[in-house]
Amino acid sequence: MDEIAVTTVTKATDCFLKLQGICKSFPGVRALNNVHMEIRKGEVHALVGENGAGKSTLMKILSGAYTKDDGEIFWQGQKVEITKPRDSEELGIAIIYQEFNLVPQLSIAENIWLGREPYINKSVHLIDWKEMYRKTSELLRELNLDIDPKRSVAGLGVASQQMVEIAKALSLNAKLLIMDEPTSALSSNEIDQLFSVIQNLKEKGVSVIFISHHLDEVYEICDRGTVLRDGNYIATIDPKETSKDELIQLMVGRTLDQQYPKVVAKRGVEALRVEGLNRDGVLYDINFSAYTGEVLGIAGLVGSGRTELVKAIFGADPIDSGKISIFGKEVMIDSPQIAIKIGMGLLPEDRKHDGLVLGLSVKQNITMSSLDKVKKHGLLHLKVEKMRVMDFIDKLRILTPSIEKQVQNLSGGNQQKVVLAKWLSSESQVLIFDEPTRGIDVGAKVEVYNLMNELVENGAAVIMVSSEMPEILGMSDRILVMHKGCLVDEFSREEATQELILASAMGVNINDKHNND
Amino acid sequence: MTNTTMIDKCEPKEKSSKATIGALIGRYGAILGLLFLVIFLSITSDVFLTGSNLSNIARQATVNAFLAIGLLLAIITAGIDLSVGSTLALAMCSMAIMAIKWGVNPYLSMVVCLAIGAFMGWINGILLTKLHLPHPYIATLGTMYIYRGLSLVITDASPISGFDRAGASEILFLGAGSVGPIPVSFIVVVVVYLIFHVILTHTSFGRHIYAIGGNVSAARLSGINVKKILVIVYTLSGLMAGLAALMLAGRTNSGFPNAGSGYETDAIAAVIIGGASFSGGSGTIGGTAIGVLLIAVLRNGLVLLNVPTEWQTVAIGLVIIGAVAVDVLRQRGQSQ
């Protein structure tokens, strides 16, 4: 703690950390392109941008989880190299992820001093528990927290666990604290408490990088901010001078140059109707309908409940109340089995974890949900199955050397087509695509879009959850927007713009603008 | 997310040679091992290739052959069934009490033997799916003790022998009878193996157990009733233990509470040698058959070569470790 007290002497306007020309590529993707950022001593600095703007990648470079391809990092005027988490820690950078790095079974004190326990005697590694608890109490007091250091972390609420993380960072003499979406799991009271702690840290001369999707919070707590978009540095802003509308403009600013092969089909009958769907703490009073011949886009920020919504509809997650009807008939969907039986199919967000059995063949994955259709006298008719699979491989142009090939050997695009083939084989009428083109190269993306067009033309209803704004705008006939577990807005294809969707996804009220459109 | 898929995409080229070697060892290692053992024993022992010795091997392999089917099913689902040996004992002792002590109709006793086996397996399945025990290892470790304990309780910890004297010789036919030179038990093994081959390759149930073992989350989201399938898998495993109990009772003309003790390890070894993976989603009935034969031939060969019993135990231990090493090698070849 002594060190922090000493460093407060330096002036608050000093450029404390400077990132210059940071580039980072992953095979096939340019995640960061010539990014620039400056953090002053003792300031709370917002890092804002849409999903996939490069915020996480940039912070992972600062914390040593990734190494930059190009660019320079200056720490208190000195050029430094951060190649591993250890480097970052030694400089005094601490990062608090959304998923905490705590061992639930251990006590608060044990967690804070894990691997750095104070010893009674250095040669005999006997832990000095008294000292450890004393130092922990001191840290907790600094954060105005009244918790027993001996309590196990498992029993603490999210807010207190976060405080333990902050205490740990302080114990490491952190001079720069990076907080990734720190308020996402907190109640408004807890957010106030967090902000007062942040204020407190600021006064001690600790700089904070604050990553948040909630612009209100940015305006409340941050001194300055950096805007990223599609991996590029866009601007450094001062909340006192930049309005929310202007900020949103900076965040989405891209022109819609990507081409989407959208074919507008004729809207048919109501295929799915959701009424009053609730899941405690996750989804609140969701009402909407999806029609055949239509792509219904669901937009929203990461964590707004989009995936949870489609999983609930599909029977993969439990619901607390609500009615679901398929083609006018009310159904109780309490398992994916039932959802599939009545004609639904889900292409999950995490293809490898939820969509495919990677170790099984293309054939086995495609017919997994439709084995009844290739049966004869109760046994699988392997020839019929093979023909059916070959048919889908042709139709969807799945590139695989053989139908017996393990799916894990296929490219992302072809894997996604296998998942789609699975639902086509089970003759699904309502298809839910959750992040349909994630991890797929550009060529395969267009193919997936074309398949979507074909599906709706042939009378299927498609629901598409996507974090990619251009994709939502380019492919949807109608767009629903979610924010904090609620459906907050609906736009037609014609009226939707990036700014409108982003504003409503961030919970910003720009009704006047809405009316103008 | 984008980056990981992209990286994955770049990799297959480099790993393909390794994958082939791994796959080769996985696919043909057991057959090669068995062939090597057979040739070696044919040369070093005069007795090995005689008809009586071969039928002896077949007879002794029977019990493990049935238990291995149960374990194959469990292991394909990424599970395990440690209770098969104890289930065997409980089914066998129950049958002996009924047929010998109570004079119940031998056929009815045999049906009860199978039913008890299946029921014990069903309990395992229910414990796993309804009590949400974290891993089948826990459920079946518990029932392994429970079933063994119950076997000791109902028999007062002593063997009950003499089906023939009790007028229930019919029970001996399966385990001890033969058609010409071929043991009846061997014929039953062949028939049951063929049936399970069809189940695994030509039924939805078979497909589903591979899917569950390969990726339980994807299986569930593909509409597979995971719990139901798991209960069936463990019930079948119990049924196979009951069938093994019939064979062992026939061969020993008795029911004894320590029967099948430690047999689960032989069965696990057979399944793993046969190419199944502990991580689930793979394994075949043919491979398991080879694994069972390899262990039986190994045990037989060690006796023929006059290897002292203590060293036989060491050799079996080495085979089990070797089997898992093969599993690891194949895994490494597949996923890198």
Both tokens of B164, joined, read 């023939």
A64-73, A439-448, A470-479, B214-223: which range is least confident on average?
A439-448
End-to-end CA distance of chain B: 18
Interface test mutation site (partner B, options A409, A442, A445, max chain B beta carbons within 10 A): A409
Of B128, B115, B87, the closest CA to residue B233 belongs to B128
Residue A413: predicted pLDDT = 86
Inter-chain CB proximity A357 and B210 less than 8 Å: yes
pLDDT value at A334 more than 70: yes
Helices in A204-264 by DSSP H: which ranges?
A: 215-221, 244-252
Residue A439: per-residue pLDDT: 75
CA gap B81, B125 in Å, rounded:
10
Give one word for B157, left, alpha or beta, with left for phi > 0 and alpha for psi -120 to 50: left
Which whole number is the average pLDDT over B313-319? 80
SS3 A492: strand
pLDDT at B12: 37
Q: Within 10 A of A202 (CB to CB), how many other CB atoms are there?
A: 18
Contact A346, A316 (CB under 8 A): yes
- Residue B147 to residue B121: CA distance in whole angstroms: 11
Measure B110 CA to nearest chain A CA, in Å.
29
- Output the six-digit token pair for A499: 């700014």
Tell whether the torsion through CA atoms of B315, B321, B324 and B329 is positive or negative: negative
Query: If interface means Cβ-Cβ distance under 8 Å, which residues of chain A face chain B?
Result: 26-29, 31, 314, 316, 335-337, 339-341, 346, 348, 353-360, 364, 367-369, 371-372, 375, 378-380, 382, 408-409, 411-412, 422, 426, 438-441
Burial code (b: 16+ CB inside 10 Å, e: under 16) for B130-154 equals eeebeebeebbeebbeebbebbbeb
Q: For residues A102 and A111, is the Cβ–Cβ distance under 8 A?
A: yes
- Are the beta carbons of A144 and A203 closer than 8 angstroms? no
Provide the pLDDT for residue A258: 58
**Beta carbons of B223 and A28 less than 8 Å apart:** no
The pLDDT value recorded for residue A510 is 56
Residues in B closer than 8 angstroms to A356, CB to CB, are 215, 218
Q: How far apart are CA B57 and CA B69, in angstroms?
A: 18
CB A186 within 8 A of CB A194: yes
Mean pLDDT estimate for chain A = 88
DSSP A124: T
Using a CB-CB cut-off of 8 Å, the residues of chain B touching A408 are: 335
- The pLDDT value recorded for residue A2 is 40
Chain B residues lying within 8 Å of A314, measured CB to CB: 221
Spell out which residues of chain A touch residue B3, defining contact as CB-CB under 8 Å: 26-27, 29, 31
Q: State which residue of chain B sits closest to A374, comparing Cα positions.
A: B204
Does any CB of chain A come closer than 8 Å to the CB of residue B313? no
Q: Among candidates B147, B158, B166, which has minimal Cα distance to B102?
A: B166
How far is Cα B256 from Cα B288, in angstroms, rounded to an integer? 27
Closest by CA to A359, choosing from A410, A294, A288, is: A410
Is this prediction's pTM over 0.95? no
The Cβ of residue B215 has, within 10 Å, a number of other Cβ atoms equal to 24
Q: Which of A18-27, B171-180, B306-315 has the lowest mean pLDDT?
A: B306-315
Put simply, whether B4 touches A (Cβ < 8 Å) is yes
Say if the Cβ atoms of B211 and A368 lie within 8 Å. yes
Distances (CA, A) of B276 to A383, A459, B216, B267: 26, 44, 17, 12
Among A346, A379, A438, the residue with its CB nearest the CB of B221 is A346
The closest CB to that of B203, out of A341, A368, A380, belongs to A380
pLDDT confidence of residue B20:
61
Report ipTM (2 d.p.).
0.84
Q: Which residues of B touch A371 (CB under 8 A)?
A: 204, 207
From A428, A507, A503, A497, select the one nearest A462 (Cα to Cα): A428
Q: What is the mean pLDDT of residues A317-338?
A: 94
Among A59-68, A117-126, A294-303, whose mean pLDDT is lowest? Answer: A117-126
Choose the closest CB to B3 out of A27, A408, A426: A27
Which residues of chain B are within 8 Å of residue A310 when distances are taken between CB atoms? none
How near does any CA of chain A get to the CA of B209, in Å?
11
**Where does the pLDDT of residue B16 fall: very low under 50, low under 70, confident under 90, or very high at 90 and above?**
very low
Of B209, B160, B182, the residue nearest B62 (C-alpha):
B182
- What kind of fold does domain A271-516 have according to CATH? Rossmann fold (3.40.50)
Measured between alpha carbons, how far is A397 from A482 in angstroms, rounded to an integer?
34
Q: How would residue A356 be classed by pLDDT, with cut points 50, 70 and 90?
A: very high
Q: How far is CA A248 from CA A47, A211, B240, in A?
A: 13, 15, 66
pLDDT of B3: 38
Q: How many helices (H) and strands (E) does chain A have?
A: 18, 24
Write the pLDDT tens digit of every residue in A358-398. Answer: 999 999 999 999 999 999 888 999 999 999 999 999 999 89
What one-letter code names the amino acid at B121?
Answer: G
Average pLDDT for A478-493: 94
**Nearest residue of chain B to residue A410 (CA atoms):** B9
Query: Is A336 in contact with B202 (Cβ distance < 8 A)?
Result: no
B179 close contact with A: CB closer than 8 A? no
Chain A: residue whose CA lies nearest to B226 = A337
Section A461-477 average pLDDT: 92
- With a cut of 80, say whether residue B320 has pLDDT above it: no
Straight-line distance from the first to the last Cα atom of chain A, in angstroms, rounded to the nearest whole number? 55
- Say if strands A344-347 and A375-376 run parallel, antiparallel, or are unpaired: unpaired
Helix then strand then coil, in percent of chain B rounded to 5, is 75, 0, 20
Q: Specify the pLDDT at position A364.
A: 96
**Greatest distance between any 2 Cα atoms in chain B:** 74
